[in-house]
Amino acid sequence: MKTKKTKKTRKQASSLNFLALSNDSTAKTFIMATLVCLVCAVFVSVAAVSLKPLQVLNKELDKKKNILQVAGLYQEGDDIEAAFSKIEIKLIDLETGEYTSEYDANSYDDRKAAKDPAFNVQIAKKDDLANIRMRPKVMPVYQVKEGDTVKQLILPVNGYGLWSTLYGFLAVENDGQTIVGLSFYEHAETPGLGGEVDNPKWKSIWSGKKVYAADGRVAIDVVKGAVVPGSSGNEFKVDGLAGATLTSRGVGNMLKYWMGKEGYQKYLNKVQANGV
Ligand SMILES: Cc1cc2nc3c(=O)[nH]c(=O)nc-3n(C[C@H](O)[C@H](O)[C@H](O)COP(=O)(O)O)c2cc1C
């Protein structure tokens, strides 16, 4: 009995001792700093864990907003989910250019698939125009519908610029050839230089440009400087960004890759021949 009491009294005394220490003492400063760190770490962890589902939802909404924007179907303030109801997601096997129902189109994540050896293919160096090293075997296509008619096809694209991989969408009309728009939702190019890929004026130049030449080769490209008005092949050329030749080249190369045989060409050729 006596020993228990002594132990308790010692414990109380030691915690009191800590509080009784001078505010200038190294031990008290160290203990207080550790306690503050611990409390903050708990707050940050709780916030990170509890906000994760909201972050995932916001990321998903942002992606949908970008898809709607590139299709010209979104005005600031619109209900994203309501506008997105016009869009049907289908999956394409890039090897065959055929639709596949192997996975659930609404939950398929092409960016995750690109990193998973079970779902991706390594790209041979000579074919890797987009400089991405691997791509998913299956990609989603977002089909914009008016009633039963598919009006546009929105295709995810990605490729390396100067500092980063740019992720975005190319929207084409149901002829599989005429561009509606190009928009990026993620990149880390320099604001004011490569970051001008987000400039609405530059983005507007893409509308009406054509992807494939008469011989079937991918002809769309970003040129250095401005396209000369009236020059031949203008329908395939887009002005390069001033002071950002490397990002511009990256965008041109990414489209050459994704619109080519490794990418959506087999699918788009079928669309051109038989409709969507
Ligand atoms: C700090 C800094 C950031 C840059 N960021 C970019 C960029 O995001 N994209 C790009 O193509 N060039 C960028 N550049 C310029 C490139 O180094 C290169 O000079 C440029 O792409 C050449 O383009 P031009 O021939 O149109 O001048 C940057 C340069 C500096 C110094």
Ligand 1 proximal residues by C-beta, below 6 Å: 162-163, 189-190, 193-194, 242-247
Torsion of CA 251, 111, 186, 45, to 10 degrees: -160
Establish if 267 belongs to a structural domain: yes
Q: Which ligand 1 atom sits closest to the C-alpha of 162?
A: 9
Task: Give the number of domains in the chain.
Answer: 2
Do 50 and 113 belong to one domain? no
Say if residue 50's pLDDT is above 80: yes
Is residue 78 domain-resident? no
Q: Are residues 55 and 111 in the same domain?
A: no
**18 and 137 share one domain:** no
Shared-domain flag, residues 154 and 237:
yes
User: 17 pLDDT band (50/70/90 cuts)?
Assistant: confident
Is the domain of 117 the same as that of 194?
yes
**Residue 24 confidence (pLDDT):** 85
Residue 148 lies in a domain: yes
Domain that holds residue 128: 86-274
pLDDT number for residue 3 = 54
Query: Quick one: pLDDT at residue 172?
Result: 98
Nearest atom in ligand 1 to 189's CA: 8
Query: Do 20 and 92 share a domain, yes or no?
Result: no
Q: Is residue 138 part of a domain?
A: yes
Mean of per-residue pLDDT scores for the chain: 93
Shared domain for 91 and 55, answered yes or no, is no
227 and 105 housed in the same domain: yes
Question: Looking at residues 185-205, what average pLDDT do you find?
Answer: 97
What is the pTM assigned to this prediction?
A: 0.84
Please check whether residue 169 is in contact with residue 183, taking contact to mean a CB–CB distance below 8 angstroms: yes
18 pLDDT band (50/70/90 cuts)? Answer: confident
Residue 5 has pLDDT above 60, yes or no: no
Answer whether residue 7 shows pLDDT above 70: no
User: Residue 137: which residues within 8 A CB-CB, separation 6 or more?
Assistant: 93, 94, 95, 113, 119, 120, 121
pLDDT digit string, tens, across residues 104-143: 999 999 999 999 999 999 999 999 999 999 999 999 999 9
What is the pLDDT at residue 12? Answer: 56
Going by CA atoms, what residue is nearest to atom 13 of ligand 1?
244
Residue from 160, 162, 241 to probe ligand 1 pocket by mutation (most atoms less than 8 Å from CB): 162
Residue 140 sits in the same domain as residue 218: yes
- Say whether pLDDT at 25 is over 80: yes
The residue nearest atom 20 of ligand 1, judged by CA position, is: 244
Both 204 and 101 in one domain: the answer is yes
133 and 30 in a common domain: no
Distance 199 CA to ligand 1 centre (A): 16
Q: Are the C-beta atoms of residues 265 and 218 closer than 8 Å to each other?
A: yes
